[in-house]
Amino acid sequence: MKVLALSLLLSSALIAQPARLAQGAEPATKEHPGDVALSQQADGAWQYRSFPHLTRLYTSEKDRRGVSTCDDECAQAWPPLFTTENTNTGDKIGLWSVIRRADGKQQWAYKGQPVYQRYHDMPMDPAAKDIDGFKPLQP
């Protein structure tokens, strides 16, 4: 009976192994702007965070590719990830690009989706969750 239980436990661990490897798999490209940090967490997951504050980054389900819909009060709670480097609209770094917002400011987008921070996030906060139509950015 102990051998059967041990075999089942070992089989379960081997079946679960690919999922753990997939979560820890390196992003297709590690290129990113200087306003962003890419790091691997203790659980093996990769994350992009703002630099130098190291707060989590988000995308909005309301945005269209290359177009931010988060203005005024929304942008106070969800500050856009503005460019700080010498960049121009349309510039690209790996899967990142620069878009121009309705107010004329330049914002980073990942795979075409405008990127935001959350006003109340704490640096290095490990908890990631969807909030009000915003979801954590996944590489």
How confident is the prediction along the chain (139 residues), in pLDDT tens digits per residue? Answer: 433 333 333 333 333 333 333 456 788 888 999 999 998 888 888 889 999 888 899 999 999 999 999 999 999 999 999 998 788 998 999 999 999 999 999 999 999 999 999 988 876 666 667 888 999 998 8
Task: Note the pLDDT of residue 3.
Answer: 37
Please, is 63 exposed, middle or buried when counting C-beta atoms within 10 Å of its C-beta (0-12, 13-18, 19+)?
buried
Cis ω on the peptide bond leading into residue 52 (within 30° of 0)? yes
Opening angle at CA 43, ends 62 and 47, nearest 5: 35
Q: What is the pLDDT of residue 20?
A: 36
With vertex at residue 128, the alpha carbon angle to CA 87 and CA 125, rounded to the nearest 5 degrees, is: 80
Q: What is the pLDDT of residue 85?
A: 73
Please give the single-letter amino acid code of residue 23: Q
Element (H, E) at 123: none
- What phi and psi values does residue 3 have, to the nearest 5 degrees? -65, -40
Classify the phi-psi angles of 133: left when phi > 0, otherwise alpha if psi is within -120 to 50, otherwise beta. left
Neighbours of 136 (CB within 10 A): 17
The closest of 116, 16, 12, 9 to 59, measured between CA atoms, is: 116
Determine the straight-line distance between the first and last CA of the chain, rounded to whole angstroms.
44
Q: What is the pLDDT of residue 40?
A: 87
Global confidence as pTM: 0.78
